[in-house]
Each structure stands twice: as C-alpha cells, then as structure tokens.
Structure 1
Amino acid sequence: MSVRILVQKFGGTSVASPERRAQVAAKVSEAISQGFMPVVVVSAIGRAGDPYATDTLIKLASNIYSEMPKREMDMLMSCGEIISGTVLASTLQSAGIDAVLMTGGQAGIITNDHFGNARIIRVEPEKIFQRLNQGQVVVVSGFQGMTEDGQVTTLGRGGSDTSAAAIGVALNAEAIDIYTDVEGIMTADPRIVEDAKILDVVTYNDICHLAHQGAKVIHPRAVEIAMQKNIPMRIKCTFTDAPGTLVTNIQPDVVAGADAIGDRIITGIAHTPNLTQIRVNIADQENKTQTAKKIFKGMALADINVDFISVQSESILYTVRDEVANKAVSILKNLGFEPECLASCAKIALVGGGIADVPGVMASVVEALSEQGIAILQSADSHTTIWVLVRKEHMAAAVQALHRKLQLG
C-alpha cells in the first residue's frame, strides 16, 4: 500500500499545554483529511524551567554531579522527548486518531557514539512504514537516536529538527513541516526590527547561511539533510493558519505570489551576540604560517570554536564566545603570545544569493553604519554573505540601520 507521507515537527512551545496540544492534534487531523499519513516528530515540553524541558533535566543531574558522563546524560536528556511524545500520542488518541509512539532508536535513527552531539549514520525506516501501512500516525521522539550496539544518543541543540529532516528523507516524504511559535522566516529578528517581513520562499542555501549565522528558527543540519533529496521544508506556526515560509531549491520568482529573487539582493539579516575579538601580533614572527597553525591548533585542542578569522601580515584576528575568552587568552599566553581582547562584541551577517552579482553592497553597509556612528571592528564577505563585527551595545541599532538601508521591510 502506497501512502503520501508528511513529516510534521512540533517544538517545545507547541506541546507545552493541553490547549496547545489540541491545536497540534488539529494540524495532524487536517493533514490526514488532505490525504497524508503524518509522521509527527516532537521536542521536549516547554523551555528551561519547565519540568520536562531538556535544560531542566540537565540541571537535575548537574546539581548532583557536575561531571556526569555524557553517556548517562544522554539517557536522561532523551527522557524529555519521550515524555512529550507519550503525552502527544495520548492527545491524538483522545481525538480519535490512531497513534503510536516510537523513540528515535525504535524509529530507526542510527548514530555514531559521540554522546551529546551524535551524528546520524543512517535511518532504517521499515518499522515506521509498517505502522503507516496499518493506518497509524507515528509519533517520534525527536533529538535522539541509537548506536549500532543499542546505546541511547542525543543529536545536539536543534536535534528535533534534524530528526524530522532525516526521517523525511528516509521516507521520501512529500514535505517536512517545522512548526514553531512564529509565522515563518523573517528578514530580521522582529524583536529588534519592527517592520521585519515574513519571507514567502527562501532557498536551502540562504536559510542554511542564516541559521549558521544566528537565526534560530531552524537548525542548519536539518536543512542540509533535506537538501539531499530536495524535499521541501515549510516553516509554519502551530497557532495560526498562516502559510509560513517555503524552503526549497526552486527560485522564488517561479513560485506564484512570492518575492522575486532577481530583486532580492539580501534575503535576511542574522546576528550573534556575546563574542570576544582576539588580536595576536605576529609582526615579529619569522614563519607566520607556522605561527597561525600553532595558535589555531591550541584553540582546537582546548575545544574552543573560533570564528571570523582574519590572518594578516601583522596580526591574526578571530572571535570566540565571551564565556571561553579567558580560557583562550590563557592558552595563548602559555604559547608565548600577548593577545589583545575586546569583549562584548556582536557579529552581524547579511545573507543573500544576489550579493555576488551586485556591486556596491558593501559600500551601502559601511554607509548605513557610519551614518549611525557605529564602528566596524572587522569585516569579511563571500558570494552569499557579508559579515561585520560591532560592539554588542551597537548590535540592535546596526541591524535596524542595515534593514532600512537595504530596504528589507
């Protein structure tokens, strides 16, 4: 029996109360009425502070022993999505929908053994297909999988999005719907920019870049997985009937009623606060290549992520998160360097497929920020992205100024 499959992923806020779970059940019922067999992926209920949220479970164990092994921590963290899935399956059953719950491992998500941030090796979807062919809606606990030898793993932050995308690809779903508490992907954070606009359509490439640069609506790993089979993703709101944002490889100008890609130089603006800029003087170093290697190997061995790297003849510039800056400085001093640091910075990223073909975009960026008296501490660009580093206190004003100058509203 052939079935039309739709993957629906619901975030923690979507399942946080009986009223909201009833709205989720309505979305599932609507999909069934349209001829789909839904596979529903759920996150843990609520957010930090709520009883079954992932951060609450982490705190429960960390308060007892701060060095809890990652294997045992994964077993604990996976409970949040199992509880959420059980509650939602019960909600669907009470609404007359035949539903069955599967853990990530039972659903066939096989991962490596990198506990806490496991990578999916493959998905074995046979058990999901069996249930779908019996007419059941399959609810899957997101954010988790299982190793080849049966160990429980979690997929890292945003892991439920990743679960949904991997399952969608394995089942060859018609679409993957990511339900959140916002109505779609916007040109900027609406908490900063009042006239931020919901985008009808974005390409996989653009949303991947936005997500990597700080936009939090969807995890970039999920987009990268869906892109493998060109399965459309839709970012929608659980609590409204708004159409949301379609993520696809189809150019927006061929989708009726959508923004024309030819006129859209910049798709959106993302930002990442709480960064420290580190500058290392290498003017007196004879072998600058080996010096750079020494610096970045030191960061890697300490598991410190570096970003916004600029290697110049006189100095090396890069950023780290504020909370690891002291550790990074200590390592550099042990290596014989005297780094300069500027804490509380923010990276702003302008993303758009049209950047490469339009001259003068960087000039507009510089003009917009200089008009507001905002200093650019560092900048870089690629074919699809322009980055600038500013002081964190200027972040909101910078995003607003760029949004106005580039006419994204």
Structure 2
Amino acid sequence: MKFLVQKFGGTSLVTQESRDHVANRIIAAADEGYMPVVVVSAIGRLGEPYATDTLINFALAINRDLPPREMDLLMSCGEIISGVAMVNTLRRLGRQAVLLTGAQAGIITDNNHNDARIIRVDPKNIISQAEQGKIVVVTGFQGISEDGEVTTLGRGGSDTTASALGVALNAECIDIYTDVEGIMTADPRIVEDARILDTVTYNEICQLAHEGAKVIHPRAVEIAMQSNIPIRVRSTFSDKTGTLVTSHHGVYGTIDITRDRLACGVTHVAGVTQLKIQVQEVDVEHLALRVFRALALADISVDFINVSPELIMFTVKDEVAKKALAVLENLGITPQVRSNCAKVSTVGAGITGVPGVMARIVQALTEEGVEILQSADSHTTIWVLVEKDDMKKAIRALHRKFKLGQR
C-alpha cells in the first residue's frame, strides 16, 4: 500500500465549507492511488468553541490548579471533535472512513504529561483499517503511555504525530497543510519581497523552525529525517506545490537543492535579554559552573551562550529576565543587563566552509547602522543579537544582501 500522511491544522477545519475542501484533497489523493492517513488538529484558535486553548481556559476558570494528567485528558478532546467532524464529512461524500485516537493508532509515549515524547508507533490498527478500504483519520497531538494514561505531545504535536506515522508506515510523503503556501525566505510582514522556497533541507528547516519560523515543528522534521521521508508544506486552500523538505539526494531523484545559494532564509526571535558577566569582576570559584547550574535549577532556559576566561555571556527570554537576575544576584553576581533585544538568524546549508559569509553579514548590518551585540555560528546558521528596534532593519538588510528575493 502507498501511504500518504496528510496533516491539517485547526484553521483548515473551522467551517463545514473548509472541511469539505479538506475532504476533497483527501479524496483526490485516494483517487491517485494513495492510501491517505489523515492527521487532524483541534478546530480553530483561542476563542473558538472547540480550540484547545478555549477548553483550557474553561477548566482553569474553575480552578487554576488542574493536574497535568487531567489537563491531558482535556486537551485531547479538541482533536477528537475535529476527527469526528472529518470522518462524518468524508462519509457524507461517499467514502468509508474511521477515526482513531492516538492510543488506537498505536502511538506510545513516555509519561511526561503535557509534553510527552513518542517512544514507538505500532501501526497495525491503521494498516488493518486501511486494508478494509477505509480512510483513516487520526487525532494529532496525543498518544498513550505504557501504563495506559492519555498524554499530549506539546505545542506542534500534530506535526509530530504526522511525522511519526509517516515513518512507521514508510509513507511516500508527509503533507503538512496549513494556512500559508509554504516556507518563506523571511516574514512577509517584514520583508516585502520574501518568497516561498521550492525546496529546503531537513537541517535548514530545523534551524528555521528553532529560530522563529512557525510553519512546522522542528521535532517533526527530525523524526522524518531519520528515515528520509520527504515533507511538503502546503496551503490547504491553494493548488501551489508549496515547499519540499528533504535531503540533498531525496526520493524525488538526485537533486542538489542547495544549488549555488548560501542562505535559504532569515528568521528572528524577539523578546530577548542579554546578560553579560565580566569574570575578573566576580570572586566566585568555578564561576561558569555555578552560574549555569543555578539557572538550570531555577528552570531557566539559556541561549546564545559565549564562555571565555574573561567573559560569560548569554541570553534569556524577556519574561524570565528578572528571575534570572535574582538567581545571579543570589550568587553574588551583578551582570550587565541589556533587555529588548532580538536574535536574527541567517540560515543555509550552503554557508558551511565558505569564506566571507560573516563578512557579508557584518557589511550588510554596518551599512544600515545596526550594531551587532553578539554573534555565534553553526554549520548551517549564523546568529546575531541586535537591539529590538533594529530587528526589522537587520532582517531586510540580510535578506537583500543574500539576494533571497531572487529565484
């Protein structure tokens, strides 16, 4: 059987008209000889009656101390509602369909309620239903622990469900349908000539997703990458092919999807605070160890880390900056604090080992009068920290410097 996993986000399922459109996409895939396995998210967003955040607010209005176990039971309801609606839509259009919850679909997780990890997938129930000629609809975002407890997979969990099923079924492809037409070179609200990328590598999209692009969850990409199952990011309401995510030499033939490009996109994360500690000014033994251990114990995530004999520098999210400062002051450390910063990332598989990429970045920002507060790099990404007021100017300058608006 040729399985095709199709995941539809909540914005694609809000009205009966949109659900009919989704159903027609599913039926078209079936008529092309694929066996669709459809993953659905909860319907709508906060404020709409069946959205997950709406259900959460309903429960917390009664008592804010809701245990994680019961929270998972509640959060699993939204996908069940949308799944039933989707099955009934397909049946109305003359197709056999069946709904499976995460547990019934064989998605086994650890017992970390509200942010569970998938341990394994046993797809035998999906395969059995498909062999009976039924289109299988699976509730995204959820699974079951080995001791029988309902769990949810955290934000982006429906993407993760789709990728895990794609790997378990050795699917031809994983289609992620959303309300945008693909992965873009930058936020189109900031960059006027931002364009849709035809292709990106798994590593590139992981970096774009980690650094602010919200089209697909990086965990989902990492799962698909393990088995080289291609992903397509597409719009539910457009016939455009979207963006193909695959390796350099994927199942669609031998293609060098990086071509001559150095970068594939510029993305950003705002709301960042920089903390800087001058080592020589602090009389604390094993300073770096003490700093990062204390922050870890306080459950504070740190990013953009630079450690040297003279300087310890890192960033935290603005909302936890006061807490981080209190932790450091409790150690007798008074760092330099710079709030309202933004992390701007230039991402591309083509930058590895290429001389002059950082020079281009510095030139682009210097020409626009943007000060670089901090920088770091990996084999696919160069990050710079800038003032939040300079963020949009920096993104536009980098997008222009690497000619990302051109095909």
TM-score scaled by length of structure 2: 0.96
The corresponding residue for 1:195 is: 193
Q: 2:176 aligns with which of 175, 178, 194?
A: 178
The corresponding residue for 1:328 is: 324
Amino acid at match of 1:65: N
Deviation at residue 391 of structure 1 after TM alignment? 1.4
Equivalent residues in 2 for 1:271-310, closer than 5 Å: 271-285=268-282, 290-310=286-306
The corresponding residue for 2:260 is: 263
Deviation at residue 341 of structure 1 after TM alignment? 1.6
The corresponding residue for 1:338 is: 334
The corresponding residue for 2:208 is: 210
1:251–1:396 Cα change, 3 Å: farther
Deviation at residue 67 of structure 1 after TM alignment? 2.6
The answer to whether structure 1 residue 222 and structure 2 residue 220 are counterparts is yes
Distance 1:70 1:88 in 2: 28
1:255–1:400 Cα change, 3 Å: farther
Distance 2:348 2:284 in 1: 37
Q: Pick which of 57-66 and 81-90 moved more.
A: 57-66
Any conservation in 2 of the 1:174–1:231 contact (CA below 8 Å)?
A: yes
Q: 2:237 aligns with which of 226, 236, 239?
A: 239
Amino acid at match of 1:73: M
Deviation at residue 251 of structure 1 after TM alignment? 4.7
Distance 1:211 1:21 in 2: 27
Deviation at residue 260 of structure 1 after TM alignment? 5.3
Deviation per CA, 1:268-326: give whole Å up to 9, x if none: 111111111111232145676x2111111111111111100011222211111111111
Distance 1:61 1:121 in 2: 29
Any conservation in 2 of the 1:203–1:251 contact (CA below 8 Å)?
A: no
The answer to whether structure 1 residue 404 and structure 2 residue 387 are counterparts is no
Q: Pick which of 159-168 and 314-323 moved more.
A: 314-323
Amino acid at match of 2:113: F
Deviation per CA, 1:7-65: give whole Å up to 9, x if none: 00001111111111111011101101100110000111111221111222222222222
Distance 2:338 2:65 in 1: 31
Amino acid at match of 2:394: A
The corresponding residue for 2:99 is: 101
The corresponding residue for 2:350 is: 354
TM-score scaled by length of structure 1: 0.95
Deviation per CA, 1:112-147: give whole Å up to 9, x if none: 011111000000111111100000011101000100
Any conservation in 2 of the 1:200–1:259 contact (CA below 8 Å)?
A: no
The answer to whether structure 1 residue 312 and structure 2 residue 308 are counterparts is yes
Q: 1:116 aligns with which of 114, 117, 137?
A: 114
Q: 1:42 aligns with which of 40, 60, 65?
A: 40
Any conservation in 1 of the 2:248–2:256 contact (CA below 8 Å)?
A: no
Deviation at residue 191 of structure 1 after TM alignment? 1.4
Deviation at residue 259 of structure 1 after TM alignment? 8.1
- Among the aligned pairs, what percent are the same residue? 60
Distance 1:314 1:61 in 2: 50
Any conservation in 2 of the 1:21–1:91 contact (CA below 8 Å)?
A: yes
Any conservation in 2 of the 1:201–1:259 contact (CA below 8 Å)?
A: no
Q: Secondary structure at the match of 2:280?
A: coil
Distance 1:22 1:98 in 2: 15
Equivalent residues in 2 for 1:45-124, closer than 5 Å: 45-124=43-122
Any conservation in 1 of the 2:365–2:394 contact (CA below 8 Å)?
A: yes
How many equivalent pairs are there?
Answer: 404
Q: Pick which of 173-182 and 274-283 moved more.
A: 274-283
Distance 2:185 2:239 in 1: 20
Q: Secondary structure at the match of 1:121?
A: strand
Amino acid at match of 1:239: F
The answer to whether structure 1 residue 135 and structure 2 residue 110 are counterparts is no
The answer to whether structure 1 residue 368 and structure 2 residue 369 are counterparts is no
1:251–1:367 Cα change, 3 Å: farther
Deviation per CA, 1:235-258: give whole Å up to 9, x if none: 111001101111111359x969x8
Measured on the aligned residues, the alpha-carbon RMSD in Å equals 1.6
Where do 5+ consecutive residues of structure 2 fail to align?
Answer: none
Any conservation in 1 of the 2:282–2:333 contact (CA below 8 Å)?
A: no
Distance 1:346 1:255 in 2: 39
Deviation at residue 95 of structure 1 after TM alignment? 1.1
Q: Secondary structure at the match of 2:234?
A: strand
The corresponding residue for 1:377 is: 373
